[in-house]
Chains A and B, each alone.
Chain A
Amino acid sequence: MLEIHNLRVSVEDTEILRGVSLAVGEGEVHAVMGPNGSGKSTLANVIAGRPGYEVTGGDVLYDGQSLLEVMPDERARRGIFLAFQYPVELPGVRNRQFLKSALDAVRVYQGREELSAREFDKLLREKVRETGLDPDLVKRSVNEGFSGGEKKRSEMLQMAVLDPRLALLDETDSGLDIDALRLVAAGVNRRRSPDRAIVLVTHYQRILSFVVPDFVHVLLDGRIVQSGGRELALELEEKGYEWLRDGATAGDR
């Protein structure tokens, strides 16, 4: 579904991703781990099409086609979803209208009909219940005045409503208490299916006890230095990242 080939990305002339390759197939759950500043968000943002990043080499393919020239809204309509590490507050934009406009856009692109107001409200109620978000929050402006944890769960609600094929979750687990973490994990697990894929970006292995990944990759200084199964996450938990960093720089020289 997603193939990243030797991707190089710079921000303001500083190279942040230095040749990343990664393949995510249908039905798979991948975890991308790494310490702060290693380039995890950069990778997720480039896949979602965020402006401000310069791709200097390599390619990102989705269903075999390059994404790099595709507008971010079209990527979303094709089924890519990024849960932001720092969700944006939209004062005065009501959640309901926001979600309805987004879902309408996605459905129309996919050749399906827009939902009627009634159908949409039914869907929204269902997803709010599933996500465990306070229904009163949904009546408010998008993310405005939400706590960190509420913002993360609001991202999960958006994901549940839009039902993407490829979900990228950027540190959705950070800043959550254990109950919220369980809810988020349950939401992610519910999405596991043979035609969907999930990429969890995180620097803790905590969520991986609840969402068991098929593959774990370690991103360090803009490079994937190690890939493995879920046991790699446990090893990282035990040994940290430093042993990999030494190996990486040694291999570099």
Chain B
Amino acid sequence: MTQSLTGYERYAADFEALEGMEPPNGSAWLRGVRREALAAFRRLGFPAERRGNERWKYTNVAPIARSTFAYPFDVDMDAVTEAFLRQQGPWSDDWARLVFVDGRFSALLSTTFDGDDGLRLVNIGAALHKDGGGVRQHLGKLAQSGDGFTAVNTAFLGDGALVEAPDDTTCERPVHLVFVSSGASPDRVSYPRALVLAGRNSRLTLVESYVGPGDGRYFTNAVTEIVAQEGSGVEHYRYMTEGAGAFHVGSSYVRLGRGSSFRSTSFGRGARIARNGLSVLLDAPGASCVLKGLYYTTGSEHVDNHIDVDHAGPGASSDQYFKGILDGSSKAVFSGRVLVRPNAQKTYARQADKNVVLSDGARINTKPSLEIYADDVQCFHGATAGAVAGDAIFYMRSRGMDEETARSLFVHGFASEIIDSIELPALRSHLDRMFSVGPPGGG
């Protein structure tokens, strides 16, 4: 029963086939990591249980667990061009970038850096060969706490992005990681992977984009690990627009050192089921994170933002602010969990989620939670389960605007609070445009 749900055998068969294709001089270390992860996946399966499954309470992943998603052994790297990518998501010629097609590294579309400009931006596969040390120390470590999705991503670990900002370095050039699904054949899965290492007192700006064709059934199962060392500052953006028939599970793991700061904003649009999972561990004094998000769902889409903040050390602060716009018969989930451990005195934690519902059929499940085991803390949470936009839309129409203009102005206004705080002009203008027009296909 469990086996038919996890579909373990299907993944194991692809795993064997992939391992068989490895060159004999491949990294033994990596082989070990993958085998371990496959074993973990066998144990964990996909989190499809409906009972007692708090982390996936409002998102049923049975459609993913039941499907046969195949590893893309044949990726046509020429199928994706730069011109195509420019249309798909945010873009700036000033950004350094690594591009992955169905998880496979595209040297052609990427601009790698190996220490010049103070930045190391290379394919993980290549980095493991050259100097395994730093990479081995961190790759897969934070992700060990993950669920079956993360485990199966690690089991197929091959190409991926390594972003390294050395100690005391300010990386002026924003880094763009583009993960594009080709949609070349139905039911393919890709395993985007990124490891981001921000050295002591370094500064880094990072954009992750997950894009795919508007139609078609595919599965993107992504894992990102970010380690921010003492005194570092990471500005992070995560942009996801997958097709309406796609499945997307993103799992990000962040660890913040003493006095470091992590500012992250995620944008989610589209996908039949999309999950944006973010776990932040604050275990050193003075670490701070600001986690923002904006999601827009239409049709029968389903977007789930799940944020885990672990205050494991004293004197750290975390601030979550998410906004959602729901249309059609779509569904959105926001669950944020803040854990303040007994020794985490002087913690500041806030979480808030605001939603607006544009149609009768849309639904939001919001479930913020604070678990506090220390006494000298300031913690707040608030959620508005979904103000109905009807009065606002009527107000605008009563001034002469047609319904479409009214909705578009309203949606843009609601989103602008988040969009206006983006520090990258190219990303800001992209999102500005995206939220100025009605949803694709109407709603």
Contact = CB atoms under 8 A, between A and B. Distances in A.
Given A92-B415, A97-B409, A105 B391 contact: no
B403 interface: yes
Contact of B414 (A49, A91, A103, A109): A91
B397 interface: yes
A76 interface: yes
A105 B401 contact: yes
Interface in A17-48: 48
Interface in B380-396: 390-392, 394-396
A166 interface: no
Does more than half of chain B's interface fall in helix, strand or loop, or is it mixed?
helix
Given A49-B398, A73-B398, A102-B400, 17 more contacts: A49-B397, A50-B398, A76-B397, A81-B398, A90-B409, A90-B410, A92-B412, A92-B415, A92-B416, A92-B417, A93-B409, A98-B409, A101-B405, A103-B400, A105-B405, A162-B399, A162-B400
Q: How many of chain B's residues touch chain A, expressed as a range?
A: 20 to 34
Nearest to B406: A73
9 contacts: A48-B398, A75-B398, A92-B415, A92-B417, A93-B409, A102-B401, A105-B402, A158-B399, A162-B400
A97 B413 CA distance: 11
Interface of B: 390-392, 394-403, 405-406, 409-410, 412-417
A84 interface: yes
Query: Which one of B397, B402, B415 has the highest number of Cβ atoms from chain A below 10 Å of its Cβ?
Result: B397
A71 B391 CA distance: 15
A92 B399 contact: no
A72 B395 CA distance: 9
Contacts of B414: 91-92
A220 interface: no
Interface residues of A, number: 31
Interface string A221-246: 00000000000000000000000000
A87 interface: yes
A172 to B, nearest CB: 15
Given A98-B399, A105-B402, A106-B400, A72 B410 contact: no
A92 B401 CA distance: 17
A88 B402 CA distance: 17
